[in-house]
A and B are shown apart, each in its own frame.
Chain A
Amino acid sequence: GAVVSQHPSRVICKSGTSVKIECRSLDFQATTMFWYRQFPKKSLMLMATSNEGSKATYEQGVEKDKFLINHASLTLSTLTVTSAHPEDSSFYICSARDPWAGSPDTQYFGPGTRLTVL
């Protein structure tokens, strides 16, 4: 149980274009999903918390107009990187909480999306 998928797993785009990443909870409904960014050999940095049916909450220093998050259903959240630039190249990982699991704060992670902006 508690499987989270991400699509695409890898994307290469040109500078100035927008890229959408999907995060799905496959076997549970997730009222809350999270988006992280991870640099090589570094830990996960929380970008934003996504709540179904409401606006996302962004961490300090994360541009909300740059990283658009939509959580339109209980199983899907999307992250759109707008007007991507090379410095946006990174490993993006989503996670979800299963509200019915025994541990309400435990997050289950997707496999990640490697974004490369040329």
Chain B
Amino acid sequence: EDQVTQSPEALRLQEGESSSLNCSYTVSGLRGLFWYRQDPGKGPEFLFTLYSAGEEKEKERLKATLTKKESFLHITAPKPEDSATYLCAVSGTASKLTFGTGTRLQVTL
């Protein structure tokens, strides 16, 4: 059974204070690892797909990296508008997404 564990559960940063979110996973036949952003009361917004260990992708202040056991979402110099829940998911041989419980990020002035 595919499993995803995210840490920390919640993170509070000051504006400009860089940090990383962790996603540990076990999956049978990784087809992709996905990062989404979810605002309260909204559906998840797609950020990145990573396919293999060593791969990195960037978008504005976000950078996602992947190893064989975990993925990191690095947030550089965050702004208050980056406040959201960040979800990690994996797709295995069943081609279905298994989600973690997310990291709730709050960025304060």
Interface residues of A in 84-118 (CB under 8 A from B): 91, 93, 95, 103, 105-112, 114
- Complex contact B32–A106 (CB within 8 A): yes
- Complex contact A109–B41 (CB within 8 A): no
- Complex contact B43–A110 (CB within 8 A): yes
Interface residues of B in 54-79 (CB under 8 A from A): none
Q: Is the interface of A mostly helix, strand, loop or mixed?
A: strand
Tally of B interface residues using CB under 8 Å? 21
Most chain B beta-carbon neighbours within 10 Å: one of A4, A46, A106: A106
Known: A106-B34, A112-B41, A114-B41. A43 touches B46 (CB 8 A): no
Tally of A interface residues using CB under 8 Å? 22
- Complex contact B32–A46 (CB within 8 A): no
Which residues of the partner chain A approach B32 to less than 8 Å between Cβ atoms? 103, 105-106
- Complex contact A43–B45 (CB within 8 A): no
- Complex contact B44–A42 (CB within 8 A): no
- Complex contact B96–A46 (CB within 8 A): yes
Known: A93-B43, A112-B41. A105 touches B99 (CB 8 A): no
Q: Taking CB as reference atom, which chain A residue is nearest B45? A: A109
- Complex contact A112–B34 (CB within 8 A): no
Known: A42-B101, A43-B99, A43-B101. A105 touches B91 (CB 8 A): yes
Q: Which residues of A are in contact with B by a Cβ distance under 8 Å?
A: 2, 4, 6, 34, 42-44, 46, 49, 91, 93, 95, 103, 105-112, 114
Sample 13 A-B pairs with CB under 8 A, ordered by A number: A2-B46, A43-B100, A46-B97, A49-B96, A103-B51, A105-B32, A105-B34, A105-B95, A105-B97, A107-B34, A111-B42, A112-B42, A112-B43
